[in-house]
Amino acid sequence: MPEGPEIRRAADALAAAVLDEPLTRVWFAFPALKPYETELTGQVIEKLETRGKALLTYFSNGHILYSHNQLYGVWRVVDAGVTPETKRDLRVRLETQQRAILLYSASDIAMLTADALATHPFLQRIGPDVLDMCVTPQQVQARLLSERFRRRLSGLLLDQAFLAGLGNYLRAEILWQAALSPQHSAATLDETQRTVLSDALLAVPRLSYHTRGAVDENHHHGALFRFKVFDREGEPCERCGHPIERTMLSSRPFFWCPYCQR
C-alpha cells in the first residue's frame, strides 16, 4: 500500500496537471456518483490535499471528492482524450482541455460536502498527518506517552490513529533511525530514546516525501532518502556492519538490525 509520502507526491502531480483549469469532462464509474458528472463539468479543481493515505479533491462549487487508494488504487496523469491500455478498472476521470487525471482500481470513493468531510468516519479516526509541518516532535512525544497508544512500536507505527501516513517501510526505517527494537513501547524507553524516536517519526517520512527517488550526484541538496533496512535482508547494516534480518510483525514483513536496534 502506498504510504503518506507517495500519496502526497501523487497529489502534487495531479495538481500540476489540472489545478485551476475548467473541467471539460467528468466521469465516474459508480452509479452513486453519476449525478455529479454534469454538475462538476465546467467547474475547476481548486486544491488537492492529503490526509494520511486519503486524497481530497476540492471543486469550485464546494464539493469534495474523497478517495483512498487502499491496496490497489492508483492515479494516472494523461493527455486529454487519452485512455491508456490497462487491465485496471477506471473509477474516476477528471479532464481539462489539456490534461486528465484518472483513478484506477480504488473502491473507497465518495463525494462530500464540507459538513460531511468534518464528520467522515475515516478522517475522524486518523491521527495527525506526519507530513503536516504544523505537527511537532513534542506533540508526537505526547501521543507516545498517552495511555491510548502505550503498546509495542511494531503495531503502533502501523496505526493510522496514532500518526496518519505511516506504513510498513516507514515503520522499519524509523525504528532503524532511532536504533530501537520493535518490541519496545513508549513505557520502556528513556527520555532520550523517546526524543530520538519522536524526531524520527516526523523526519523520516518528510525526507521520503521530499527526496525519495531523486538523484543528487553532486550532493548539493543534503541527504536523500534511501532504504537503510527495508527490503535489504542479508545486507550489512551501514551503522554496525551486521546483517539485516527479515521477520514478520503485525502480519507484515519487517526488516531490521537486531545487533544495533536495542
CB 142 within 8 A of CB 128: no
| CA separation for the pair 45, 172 (Å, rounded) | 36
- Residue 230 burial (CB count, 10 A): 20
Boundary (domain end) residue, out of 103, 125, 147: 125
Count CA within 13 A, CB hemisphere, residue 93. Answer: 19
The helix (H) or strand (E) run that includes residue 76 is strand 74-79
Boundary (domain end) residue, out of 125, 151, 179: 125
| CA separation for the pair 225, 209 (Å, rounded) | 8
87 is catalytic: no
| CA separation for the pair 215, 200 (Å, rounded) | 23
> Residue 1: pLDDT above 80?
no
Query: Which CATH number is 50's domain given?
Result: 3.20.190.10
Shared domain for 121 and 159, answered yes or no, is no
Amino acid at 20: D
Residues, the chain, total? 262
Q: Flag whether 116 is in a domain.
A: yes
Q: What would the mean pLDDT of 20-27 be, rounded to a whole number?
A: 98
Query: Which CATH number is 232's domain given?
Result: 1.10.8.50
Shared domain for 151 and 118, answered yes or no, is no
Q: Is 51 helix (H, G, I), strand (E, B) or coil?
A: strand
Q: What would the mean pLDDT of 89-99 be, rounded to a whole number?
A: 98
> Residue 214: pLDDT above 70?
no
The helix (H) or strand (E) run that includes residue 65 is strand 64-68
Annotated catalytic residue, options 8, 51, 53, 93: 53
| CA separation for the pair 148, 190 (Å, rounded) | 19
Q: Flag whether 52 is in a domain.
A: yes
Annotated catalytic residue, options 47, 226, 252, 253: 252
Shared domain for 143 and 252, answered yes or no, is yes
pLDDT tens digits along 59-90? 999 999 999 988 789 999 999 999 999 999 99
pTM score of the predicted model: 0.91
Shared domain for 158 and 59, answered yes or no, is no
Longest dimension (CA), the chain: 60
Shared domain for 249 and 141, answered yes or no, is yes
53 is catalytic: yes
**Domain total in the chain:** 2
34 is catalytic: no
Boundary (domain end) residue, out of 125, 156, 180: 125
Shared domain for 34 and 96, answered yes or no, is yes
- Cell 505537527, residue located: 135
pLDDT tens digits along 145-197? 999 999 999 999 999 999 999 999 999 999 999 999 999 999 999 999 999 99
121: cell is 468516519
99 is catalytic: no
Task: Residue 117: give the domain boundaries.
Answer: 4-125
Annotated catalytic residue, options 2, 137, 245, 246: 2
